[in-house]
Structure 1
């Protein structure tokens, strides 16, 4: 187990089409992260969606390694008719930080029910599950669950 894991999620851009940047920094307990792969399992709330066709295009251009695992997914449905979806993303090691991984995921806002002028709609993006595999001579597999802080 790791002594410290720092997870930061940032929403980039404005409007209906945004990018979710996921950054993970590990403490000093893992000596050689070069042999490790980090898989991020993210649950996308009903107020957002990820376009599986866009993900396929980004994979082809080697921008991100992500795939939808939800079935019967409708990108046209408004938030009140949609379900939470799941996405798997392989995070890449950050070239500027030796103990860091990052992943990029384009997300889009769904249409919501109309409401009064002064009312705001909030969408909560929870922390993802992190799964790590390191090949360091012996098999080291670890399931990491990052809790809200």
Structure 2
């Protein structure tokens, strides 16, 4: 009897562990395209059991906010984001000033707030977006062919809106790290209460490699550039003289 009772307790504990392991948001992230212009794809899948009380009444909708920290080796273009927003692109507020011309060594991290709605796919609620990312040029190096740019996991916040009583903060059935007052939307200066949610994926950073020039190639590149530029100038001068001579011959 004692052995059977112990087995029952073990099975119950295992069931509880399995149950709890399935009720956390699922986070996925990838870096699409190649070269200096990439797409940062991010998605959060919220199982229905995390948000049952919100949607039963039909008057509450939820939103997510992603706080992206773009490393100094990359940047987002605010004008590009604004243009894409008109055609269904991500709703983004760039917190820091952005100089798209500066190289990595003269740049700093950029904080961008990405707002996304939760939409149902039947079994869960999903928030996703595609953020255009541009890599910066890096300084030349004596012995390195490529430099690494690391994109860390964003901080993710949840907020729900009650259509009857106005904007109200709700928790969710999971681990809430802390609450913060952030803009209600990308164009709103009014602050709302957001709840940061806990994700269990520990290794979710992404890596991009940027090719860099070598100091050993400095002389070759400089001489080659001077020769190519000089040759192009002589060709343009010769072309201009030929055109001028031809025109003078026709006029005479």
TM-score by length of 2: 0.52
Compare relative contact order (CA 8 Å, sep 6+) and give the higher one, 1 or 2. 1
Equivalent positions of 1:88-127 (< 5 A) are 88-93=113-118, 96=121, 98-115=124-141, 119-127=145-153
Instruction: Give aligned pairs, total.
Output: 147
State the distance in 1 between where 2:108 and 2:144 align: 27
Give the stretch that moved more between structures: 7-16 or 45-54: 7-16
Q: Which has the larger radius of gyration?
A: 2
State the distance in 2 between where 1:142 and 1:3 align: 17
1:71-129 residue CA offsets vs partner (Å, 9 max, x unmatched):
3x211110110000011111244564632210111000000012357632111100111
Which runs of no fewer than 5 residues in structure 2 stay unpaired? Answer: 1-21, 171-193, 203-252
**What SS does structure 2 have at the residue aligned with 1:74?**
coil
**What SS does structure 2 have at the residue aligned with 1:99?**
strand
Number of the residue aligned with 2:197? 144
Instruction: Give the Å deviation of 1:23.
Output: 0.6
TM-score by length of 1: 0.85
Which runs of no fewer than 5 residues in structure 1 stay unpaired? Answer: none
Number of the residue aligned with 2:65? 39
Between Structure 1 and Structure 2, the one with more strand by share is 1
RMSD across aligned positions (CA):
2.5
